[in-house]
Amino acid sequence: MPAKGRSDGIGDMAEERSKLEREQAAQREEAAREKAETDSNLAKKSAQDAKIASERADMLAEITAEFEATVNGVLKNFAGAVSQMQASAQTMSTTAEQTSQQSSAAASASDQASSNVQTVAAAAEELSSSIAEITR
Predicted local confidence at residue 98, as pLDDT: 96
Q: Quote the CA–CA distance of 64 and 115 in Å, as a whole number.
A: 75
Predicted local confidence at residue 136, as pLDDT: 74
Q: What domain range includes position 42?
A: 2-134
Predicted local confidence at residue 16, as pLDDT: 85
Q: Quote the CA–CA distance of 4 and 34 in Å, as a whole number.
A: 32
Threshold 0.75, pTM exceeds: no
Please tell me what DSSP assigns to residue 102.
H
**C-alpha torsion 94→98→101→102, nearest 10:** -160
Predicted local confidence at residue 7, as pLDDT: 67
Predicted local confidence at residue 113, as pLDDT: 94
Predicted local confidence at residue 4, as pLDDT: 55
List per-block mean pLDDT (blocks of 10 residues) for the chain, which spans 136 residues.
Answer: 64 84 95 95 96 97 98 96 96 96 94 93 90 83
Cβ pair 13, 1 in contact under 8 A: no
Cβ pair 11, 5 in contact under 8 A: yes
Structurally, how many domains does the chain consist of?
Answer: 1
